[in-house]
Structure 1
Amino acid sequence: MTDYGHELKFGGFLTPDAGDPERVVDLVRLAEQDGLDLVTFQDHPYQPAFLDTWTLISYVAARTERISLAGNVLNLPLRPPSVLARSVASLDRLSGGRIELGLGAGGFWEPIKAMGGEQRAPGEAVAAVDDAILIMRELWDTEQRGGVRVRGKIYQVEGAKRGPAPAHRIGIWLGAYKPRMLELTGRAADGWLPSLSYLQPGDLTRGNKIIDEAAEAAGRSPSDIRRLLNLDRTRPEELAELALTEGIGTFIITADDPNTLRRFAAETAPAVRELVAAARRGGGSGPDLTPATGPVQSGGTGSDVFDRLGVQPTPDDGTRLLPDQPWDESARPHRDIVPQQEYDPQGTAIGQHLIDVHDHLRQELETVRDLVQQVKQGTIEASRARSVINELTLRQNNWAMGAYCASYCRVLTQHHTIEDRSMFPHLRSTDPELAPVLDRLAEEHGVIHEVLEELDRRLVEHLKAPGEFTELQHAVDRLTDTLRSHLSYEERELVEPLARVGMYQGQV
């Protein structure tokens, strides 16, 4: 539960799409125009569908005036640290101090090897980042005399001349998830830059603890390390809580859609800043993060109910990937509920179990999305696949994605069938006023079934024509929009009734 007191910053995480490079540049200019602080790009030098990230950063630096730029994160195995240090410092001087350095140890070793890079064991990969930080900082330090000499475990520099010095102190932010990289972050880096979609509950707290302890052991203050986070959702209350309890100081939205970037800059960022400022003032006159109390008004179950339950449904932040939706969310019925004074612990556990099941589906959805992205990139992450793939070919990627999509869609359909045949009738009989909500949920299950069928059709078409991703991506985005919306609506409406009337957990 830590607030490091950092000034809040907001940015975008863009795809360096080689198919439409001018659109990428336009998105950066839009982000700057709308007031975002930072734009970052993923870096996969082995991906021919992507622009080279460093070349892109250099180009957009010349097309912008204020916004900061960074890789998210740069691929160290294919970017030698001594050369990278001079490149970063040079561009920082040319851009007026607008370059930061997100750095990664590497992960997709097969394509890295295919490009001439060296595959490293986990310990070697961490050691390489450790060496690189020292080398780059030494090369940037022009106040010291003599050449740079670093004899690291992976990289060695023998008398390299110093300079040029960057225009400002460049932050080195590490994409870190495991203990050794987290320890290195606290000991030697300036920032921690994970992606929320790759984290499990509690990972931020655990990661902060490792970083803080390493920083203190190195004689540093934990607040010396900025905490950044790549996001796929934008609910202001959730982001404010992450700032106040997990110390996140920079929020980066993963989006290639101009409307999403614009809303993030114009709506989300000011709201989060106001919420955090009010909390840091000790309440003040700003918005209050404390849920309201009293009877529930229109719009379904209120937060006071969930506070009493000790169960928190996953909120829907309203972000959608596609402009059109298969249903009208404003037409959803709601069952207004006045909370009970107390709830039976077993009933509360049933409500939580529904959320747990949904969280599993959400996690699986992110895996499907990740697999599609890896197919588009020509790579696949071993931890996300069913088995380690030694040779990454398009056919093998398609097989992995197809097998997983089929499994996931089957699990989701079974979950909805159980609800329709067991849970919904039980709730209908014990709480007749829930009937409109249950009818609507059953209708949405039918829609989601059609969305899943469409995803399957597009997947089959893609397997026949592997070069085309537009329709497949559209189908995955449609599933993402409908499922996230539906699961949040269902939890908001049913968690309290389940806690109140009871049900066997096996039926959920």
Structure 2
Amino acid sequence: MTDYGHTLRFGVSIDPSASDFPEALSLARQADAAGLDLLAVQDHPYQESHLDAWTMLTQLVAHTERIAVMGDVLDLQLRPPALTAKAAASLAVMNGGRVHLGVGGGASAQGVAAMGGRPRSAGDTIAFTEEAIGIMRGALEGGLVQASSEQHQVAGYRAGPIPPEHVGIWLGGQRPRMLRVMGRVADGWISPLNIYVAPHEVPEKQEIIDDAATAAGRDPKDIRRIYNVLGAIGPFRGGQGLVGPVAEWVETLASWAVDLGFDTFVFWPITDAEDQVRLFSDLVVPAVRDRVASLRAERGTTLADADADAEGSLA
């Protein structure tokens, strides 16, 4: 059992398909009006049908009022870290801080190479990603940013603007070496979809992150954890992921919070997104909050100190 005690956050995945952008924008506005916390956009720029993730994130921010946005996850192989941090800082300045950096080492080596990216071995990708996070963190804090290694050359960039509040750097991945990077240097873990990282696999991965964090002198409780949840709410049969009535969703997400350690859930509906997000925001989310609060009271779990700093922050 692992519960890190963070305030729960809930979001929805926004489809980056170019042909469906009007529907995506409408769904984003719906999620914002419903009080959800996060709009997450996947980043596969080598897909000809997909919009550029950063461009889409800026549009989502421009057409919403309070909800935050995040790449889920941005491909660092195709996005130089200093420029990625510049983009995040710029968006945070323009929208009052409603942006978080979700990044990864690159899901498709073939896709990266097709767009002109440098092919890297698995080991090089690990080193590249860890160094990239260091560069981004320095750039987000301002001042002179320099790096000279086999993976990165930054000759001396005077970083700015500085975001109005901390921009968290979340790392996606599931393999042990990348999870150790997450524990050492990232603000949070973005787990792949529940159909790729099944619930029974999560404890081992959380342990890897926690051990790496402890070895690096960090408190594992300071690290946030996102689960991408594919599924459908209602009397459906078949379909991938979590499929079932509201009560099943409530009990499952509550268990994943207090037993698996996740504090943020991003919903990927597999049918009728508008109706599914309505059910999620109106019925599932408040009930999960109540259920988790009750379980934590029974177990004597207290909210982590990190949540007292800024209500609504994912950092």
CA gap of 1:198–1:279, structure 2 versus 1, over 3 A, is same
Structure 2 counterpart SS, 1:187? helix
Deviations 1:258-283 (A, max 9, x none): 11111111111111100100111117
Matches within 5 A, 1:63-102: 63-102=63-102
2:197 paired with 1:199: yes
CA distance in 2, matches of 1:205, 1:20: 36
Aligned residues: percent identity? Answer: 43
Flag the structure with higher strand content.
2
Give unmatched runs, 5+ long, in structure 1.
285-508
Q: Tell me the residue number matched to 2:312.
A: none
Match of 1:236 in 2: 250
1-structure distance, mates of 2:204, 2:195: 16
Matched residue, 1:270? 286
- Check if 1:62 corresponds to 2:76: no
Which structure dedicates a bigger proportion of its chain to helix? 1
Does the aligned pair in 2 maintain the 1:2–1:247 contact within 8 Å?
yes
Provide the aligned length of Structure 1 versus Structure 2.
Answer: 281
**1:261 maps to which residue?**
277
- 1:30 alignment partner in structure 2: 30
The whole-number CA distance in structure 2 between the counterparts of 1:253 and 1:48 is 24
- Cα deviations across residues 312-336 of structure 1 (Å, max 9, x unaligned)? xxxxxxxxxxxxxxxxxxxxxxxxx
1:157 corresponding residue in structure 2: 154
Structure 1: distance between partners of 2:294 and 2:150: 48
Structure 2 equivalent of residue 122 of structure 1: 122
Alpha-carbon contact 2:140-2:167 (below 8 Å) kept? no
Three-state SS of the structure 2 residue aligned to 1:160 is strand
Q: Distance in 1 between matches of 2:225 and 2:299?
A: 24
Q: Which amino acid aligns with 2:264?
A: T
Please say if residues 127 and 153 of structure 1, whose CA atoms lie closer than 8 Å, have aligned partners that are also in contact. Answer: no
2:32–2:66 contact (8 Å) kept in structure 1: yes
Deviates more, 1:173-182 or 1:275-284: 275-284
Partner of 1:281: 297
Distance across 2 between alignment mates of 1:180 and 1:90 = 31
Report the Cα distance in structure 1 between the residues aligned to 2:114 and 2:198, rounded to whole angstroms: 32
Distance 1:159 1:258, change over 3 A: same
CA deviation vs aligned residue, 1:205-255 (integer Å, no higher than 9, x gap): 011101111111111110111011000237110110111111110011012
Q: Output the CA distance in 2 between the equivalents of 1:149 and 1:103.
A: 20
Q: Secondary structure at the match of 2:159?
A: coil
SS of aligned partner of 1:77: coil
- Given candidates 186, 210, 217, the residue that maps to 1:212 is 210
Structure 2: which amino acid aligns with 1:250? Answer: T
CA distance change for structure 1 residues 114 and 217 in 2, over 3 Å: closer, same or farther? same
Distance (Å, rounded) in 2 between the aligned partners of 1:77 and 1:211: 23
Q: 1:283 to 1:83 in 2, by over 3 A?
A: closer
The answer as to 2:156 corresponding to 1:140 is no
**Equivalent residue number for residue 405 of structure 1:** none
SS in 1 for 2:146: strand
| Matching residue within 218, 222, 225 for 2:223 | 225
Q: Which moved more, 1:193-202 or 1:80-89?
A: 193-202
Counterpart CA distance in 2 for 1:82 and 1:122 is 22
What amino acid maps onto 2:163 in structure 1?
P
2:32–2:67 Cα contact (<8 Å) kept? yes
Output one character per residue of 1:362-402: Cα deviation in whole Å (capped at 9) or x when no partner: xxxxxxxxxxxxxxxxxxxxxxxxxxxxxxxxxxxxxxxxx
User: 1:249: which partner in 2?
Assistant: 263
What secondary structure sits across from 1:87 in the alignment? helix
Say whether the 8 Å CA contact 2:43–2:74 is kept in structure 1.
yes
Is residue 32–residue 66 contact of structure 1 (8 Å, CA) maintained in 2? yes
Q: Per-residue CA shift, 1:443-500, capped at 9, x if unaligned?
A: xxxxxxxxxxxxxxxxxxxxxxxxxxxxxxxxxxxxxxxxxxxxxxxxxxxxxxxxxx
Q: TM-score, normalised by structure 2?
A: 0.86
Residues of 1 paired with 2:43 and 2:30: CA distance? 21
Mapped to 2, the partners of 1:213 and 1:80 lie a distance apart of 29
Aligned ranges for residues 316-327 of structure 1 at < 5 Å?
Answer: none
Give the whole-Å Cα distance in 1 for the aligned partners of 2:204 and 2:152: 30
What is the alpha-carbon root mean square deviation over aligned residues?
A: 1.5
Evaluate the alpha carbon distance shift between residue 33 and residue 203 of structure 1 in structure 2; reply closer, same or farther with a 3 A threshold.
Answer: same
CA contact (8 A) 1:81 1:136 kept: yes
- Correspondence for 1:47: 47
Deviations 1:76-95 (A, max 9, x none): 11111111110010001111
Q: Residue in 2 aligned with 1:487? A: none
Amino acid in the other structure paired with 1:225: I
> Which secondary structure state, in structure 1, belongs to the residue aligned with residue 46 of structure 2?
coil
8 Å contact kept, 1:61–1:69:
yes
Letter in 2 for 1:282: E
Q: Which has the higher contact order (CA 8 A, sep 6+)?
A: 2
Residue identity opposite 1:228 in structure 2: I
